[in-house]
């Protein structure tokens, strides 16, 4: 054949394959053998990825990309779904998104108008980040199939005007944990029960509490996709809630809103929520709830992170079935289901106009509502394409042009190098610009502190943020410091991470604290023990500054002479002064605090073994361990475990009385027992320690602190507080405080601060906490018990208090080596 003929032949073959492929796009059923959402069926991760691969090969509307590997090395994928011509031009659209996301790249109105005219609305839909909320992962295949095959005008409009990034699950490991468990228990007495293990290796349910810290591989990979590459205008995070309340929650959200979220975003979130609600109602679905329970205060979830990148974040929460088995819900259960914004699930109201009448609730019901909801969002995006692009651009532009403080500074010479590197690395990974000073700057700095507004209402802690008097004059900032300017598209993100939070004082009619949806305070530099004052003014004009934009955390690590990160290995050097045989208790009930503890130990390369109930019951613990850590968990859970009959026998029973006896022997023989927060109650009771939890049984009208940063007064002459400053921020999440009776065996290492106790968040009834014991060491026999009233490693974020753990373990080693 001539070259020209062969080209024509190729073209004909290509066209015929293309049209052949279009007609033979495999349905999920043809691949799986069942329709996604059928009762008592579940597709595991390899089935889901296999389906998407087939769809990618068969449809020119679908392109599947592997983002990387999950924590347990499964592929994490995203499917781009759009019209054929858009899929062929993805790099062009990615470039448009990157320009709109950063208006500094757009110098002329005509350039902006061209981008708005040519761009597509990018929508990300993420399914089943919480793996027991399994239906959406199954739904993803059906949604992709329908978009790949439909020929109707509405779908064509969606495909032309939007680019969907569909994430079948951001936690592939969890899909298999749940699918395997579900199959194993199907047809047994335990069918539909949740698995007794964490469905993310480290974080469990907290895998959706990581969107600003970026500890987990999954959040790192998706953050790169979303906030470095594609900048979606809309992110839809698909969840399930308990079985007995509303059938489906969608925004608008409940109060309070985070003050750093643009009002325009809150309105747009509400608009899409009401569009979904109207579409669900029109399709005959009942039990849809808005304006209730879920709020936008806290910063770290999949649907909240977008607000701080100028994007719209939508959450839906469908009522759960029993994994993939139907559930029966009674009128009585609905009537007992009450939450803020909903008196009960049988009473109609403006935000809940059509209660669902009880009955059988199936995975198919969940899936149908999620499909309708996804479709509503895509329709809105397609119909108002230019508005979504323009609003997105305008929010970024306003952030760049806002007046007020200039920057945050991370001064050189802090004795917390690893924390500084981690903090800056997390900022860069989420797309924040961080510069190094290559020449000194002269600045006016301030450090905000919280003060009570109304001294009369002592107990009711109303706080206000005051810029403190630390400095009001120009002072020189040394070169080697880092600076984060606020005039960048992520201004609101930087403010929300660096400012102290002041949660509004919200009480119920009965005077009890109204529980926020998640934590009340999280200020990142405080949690990490890194000094980060706000820069009010800079003397040098822009052309006299010498700054380097940082590319990644390794540049900071190089500056600070820390080992560089290579590949997936954590580069942090083991902080223990000598080898210690550490055991971390891992009971049969899943415990996120235990998972995060393993995360921190793995990240700091501190070796440990997980200690199971059988190990505790067997005893001879001194022959294996120098120190045992019990992470925050109730004493009854540790001792009794899961109740017999609730799960297969191998998952029931705790350490038992025998384990307690072995633990006493371990400490008496010279071992170190370390307890975090709730687990201290077990030690205090079983060892009869001379301490008392003063917050036990206190009503929330008297004291309430639901996830806040508080100051500790530290006795740094004690070896466990060695090298720490006299005041250390600690994470308090409905935690504990103690009074100690005078006893030579008790040494108090830290107390909750007497002055300026609340650093960030919400604290009701300060007097109940102020001055009480936060960290103590008690001698028992030849050994010691270390009691942390707070969570020194909370969510892998509280780096300020990690040195207490390393110091305690280092002294455990010296103890056993002396013997
Ligand atoms: Zn969830």
pLDDT interval class at 467 (50, 70, 90): low
pLDDT at position 5, please? 45
pLDDT at position 471, please? 53
Evaluate if residue 440 carries a pLDDT over 90. yes
Q: How far apart are CA 44 and CA 200, in angstroms?
A: 15
Q: How far is CA 569 from the centre of its chain?
A: 22
Q: 630 CA distance to ligand 1 centroid (A)?
A: 27
Q: 223 CA distance to ligand 1 centroid (A)?
A: 18
Q: 583 CA distance to ligand 1 centroid (A)?
A: 31
Beta bridge partner(s), residue 73: none
584 preceded by a cis bond (ω within 30 of 0): no
Both tokens of 353, joined, read 């106009």
pLDDT interval class at 470 (50, 70, 90): low
Which has the higher per-residue pLDDT, 819 or 49? 49
Q: 193 CA distance to ligand 1 centroid (A)?
A: 16
Q: 171 CA distance to ligand 1 centroid (A)?
A: 12
pLDDT at position 474, please? 87
Q: How far apart are CA 96 and CA 782, in angstroms?
A: 67
Closest by CA position to 317, among listed 346, 276, 349: 276
Write out the H or E segment, with its range, that includes residue 410.
strand 407-410
Report the share of the chain in percent with pLDDT over 90.
91
Strands (E), 493-546: 534-538
**How much is the average pLDDT of 719-738?**
97
Q: 130 CA distance to ligand 1 centroid (A)?
A: 5
Q: 729 CA distance to ligand 1 centroid (A)?
A: 29
Query: What strands, in cross-sheet order, belong to the sheet with 288-289?
Result: 62-69, 75-81, 162-167, 121-127, 234-241, 312-319, 248-249, 288-289
pLDDT interval class at 447 (50, 70, 90): confident
Q: 129 CA distance to ligand 1 centroid (A)?
A: 7
The pLDDT mean for the chain works out to 94
Residues 344 and 334 sit within 8 Å (Cβ to Cβ) = yes
Q: 239 CA distance to ligand 1 centroid (A)?
A: 4
Residues 450 and 465 sit within 8 Å (Cβ to Cβ) = yes
Which has the higher per-residue pLDDT, 740 or 38? 38
**How much is the average pLDDT of 22-31?**
88
- pLDDT tens, residue by residue, 292-308: 999 999 999 999 999 99
- pLDDT tens, residue by residue, 180-215: 999 999 999 999 999 999 999 999 999 999 999 999
pLDDT at position 204, please? 98
pLDDT interval class at 404 (50, 70, 90): confident
Residues 704 and 733 sit within 8 Å (Cβ to Cβ) = no
Q: 314 CA distance to ligand 1 centroid (A)?
A: 13
Q: Is the dihedral of CA 592, 594, 596, 602 positive or negative?
A: negative
Q: 207 CA distance to ligand 1 centroid (A)?
A: 10
Evaluate if residue 11 carries a pLDDT over 70. no
Q: 662 CA distance to ligand 1 centroid (A)?
A: 38
Q: 208 CA distance to ligand 1 centroid (A)?
A: 8
pLDDT at position 19, please? 45
* Residue count of the chain: 819
Residues 292 and 298 sit within 8 Å (Cβ to Cβ) = no
Q: 240 CA distance to ligand 1 centroid (A)?
A: 5
Which has the higher per-residue pLDDT, 288 or 402? 288
Q: How far apart are CA 204 and CA 207, in angstroms?
A: 6
Q: 320 CA distance to ligand 1 centroid (A)?
A: 10
Q: 322 CA distance to ligand 1 centroid (A)?
A: 14
Q: Measured between alpha carbons, how far is residue 240 from residues 316, 345, 360, 590 in Å?
A: 7, 16, 16, 19
Q: How far apart are CA 686 and CA 688, in angstroms?
A: 6
Q: 591 CA distance to ligand 1 centroid (A)?
A: 16
pLDDT at position 16, please? 43
pLDDT at position 469, please? 47
């Amino acid at each position: 054949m001539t070259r020209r003929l062969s080209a024509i032949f190729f073209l004909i073959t290509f066209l015929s394959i293309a049209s052949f492929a279009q007609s033979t796009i495999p349905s999920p059923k043809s691949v799986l053998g069942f329709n996604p959402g059928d009762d008592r069926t579940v597709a595991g991760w390899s089935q889901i990825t296999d389906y998407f691969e087939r769809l990618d090969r068969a449809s020119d509307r679908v392109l599947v990309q592997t983002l990387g590997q999950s924590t347990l090395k499964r592929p994490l994928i995203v499917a781009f779904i759009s019209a054929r011509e858009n899929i062929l031009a993805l790099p062009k659209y990615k470039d448009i998104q990157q320009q709109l996301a950063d208006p500094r790249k757009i110098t002329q109105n005509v350039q902006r108008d061209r981008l708005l005219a040519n761009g597509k609305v990018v929508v990300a839909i993420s399914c089943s980040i919480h793996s027991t909320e399994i239906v959406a992962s199954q739904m993803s295949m059906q949604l992709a199939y329908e978009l790949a095959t439909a020929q109707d005008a509405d779908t064509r409009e969606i495909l032309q005007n939007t680019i969907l990034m569909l994430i079948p699950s951001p936690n592939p490991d969890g899909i298999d944990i749940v699918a395997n468990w579900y199959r194993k228990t199907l047809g047994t007495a335990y069918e539909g029960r949740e698995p007794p293990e964490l469905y993310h290796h480290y974080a469990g349910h907290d895998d959706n509490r990581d969107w600003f810290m970026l500890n987990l591989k999954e959040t790192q990979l998706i953050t790169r996709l979303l906030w470095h590459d594609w900048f979606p205008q809309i992110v839809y995070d698909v969840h399930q809630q308990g079985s007995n309340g509303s059938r489906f929650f969608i925004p608008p959200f409940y109060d309070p809103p985070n003050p750093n979220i643009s009002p325009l975003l809150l309105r747009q979130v509400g608009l899409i929520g009401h569009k979904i609600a109207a579409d669900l109602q029109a399709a005959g679905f009942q039990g849809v709830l808005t304006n209730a329970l879920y709020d936008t205060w806290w910063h770290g979830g999949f649907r909240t992170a977008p607000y701080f990148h100028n994007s719209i974040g939508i959450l839906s929460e469908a009522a759960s079935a029993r994994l993939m088995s139907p559930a029966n819900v009674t009128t009585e259960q609905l009537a007992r289901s009450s939450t803020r914004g909903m008196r009960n699930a049988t009473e109609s109201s403006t935000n809940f106009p059509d209660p669902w009448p009880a009955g059988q609730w199936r995975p198919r019901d969940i899936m149908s509502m999620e499909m309708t909801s996804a479709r509503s969002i895509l329709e809105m995006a397609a119909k108002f394409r230019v508005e979504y692009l323009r609003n997105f651009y305008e929010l970024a532009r306003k952030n760049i042009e806002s007046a007020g403080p200039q920057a945050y500074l991370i001064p050189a010479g802090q004795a917390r190098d690893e924390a500084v590197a981690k903090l800056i690395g997390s900022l860069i990974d989420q797309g924040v610009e961080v510069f190094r000073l290559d020449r000194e700057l002269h600045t006016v700095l301030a450090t905000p502190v919280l003060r009570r507004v109304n001294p009369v209402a002592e107990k009711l802690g109303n706080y206000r943020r005051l810029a403190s008097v630390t400095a009001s004059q120009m002072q020189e900032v040394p070169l080697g410091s880092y600076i984060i300017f606020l005039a960048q598209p992520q201004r609101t993100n930087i403010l929300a991470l660096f400012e102290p939070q002041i949660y509004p004082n919200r009480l119920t009619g009965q005077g009890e604290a109204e529980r926020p949806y998640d934590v009340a305070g999280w200020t990142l530099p405080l949690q990490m023990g890194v000094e980060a004052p706000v820069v009010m003014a800079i003397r040098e004009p822009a052309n006299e500054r010498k700054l380097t934009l940082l590319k990644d955390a390794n540049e900071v690590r190089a500056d600070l002479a820390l080992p560089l990160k290579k590949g997936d290995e954590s580069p942090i050097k083991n902080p223990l002064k000598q080898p210690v045989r550490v055991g971390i208790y891992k009971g049969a009930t899943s415990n996120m605090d235990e998972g995060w503890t393993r995360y921190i130990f793995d990240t700091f390369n501190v070796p440990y073994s997980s200690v199971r109930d059988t190990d505790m019951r067997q005893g001879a613990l001194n022959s294996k361990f120098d120190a045992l850590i019990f992470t925050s968990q109730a004493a009854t859970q540790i001792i009794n475990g899961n109740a017999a009959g609730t799960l297969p026998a191998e998952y029931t029973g705790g350490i038992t009385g025998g384990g307690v006896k072995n633990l006493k022997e371990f400490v008496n023989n010279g071992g170190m027992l370390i307890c975090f927060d709730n687990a201290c109650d077990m030690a205090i009771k079983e060892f009869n320690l001379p301490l008392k939890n003063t917050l036990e049984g206190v009503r929330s009208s008297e004291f309430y602190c639901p996830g806040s940063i508080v100051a500790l007064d530290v006795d740094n002459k004690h070896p466990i507080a060695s090298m720490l400053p006299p005041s250390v921020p600690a994470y308090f999440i409905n935690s504990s405080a103690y009074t100690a009776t005078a006893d030579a065996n008790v040494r108090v290492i830290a107390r909750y601060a007497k002055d300026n106790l609340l650093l960030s968040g919400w604290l009701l009834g300060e007097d109940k906490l102020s001055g009480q014991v936060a960290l103590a060491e008690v001698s028992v026999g030849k050994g010691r018990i270390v009691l942390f009233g707070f969570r020194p490693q909370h969510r892998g974020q509280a780096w300020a208090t990690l040195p207490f753990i390393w110091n305690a373990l280092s002294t455990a080693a010296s103890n056993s080596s002396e013997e």
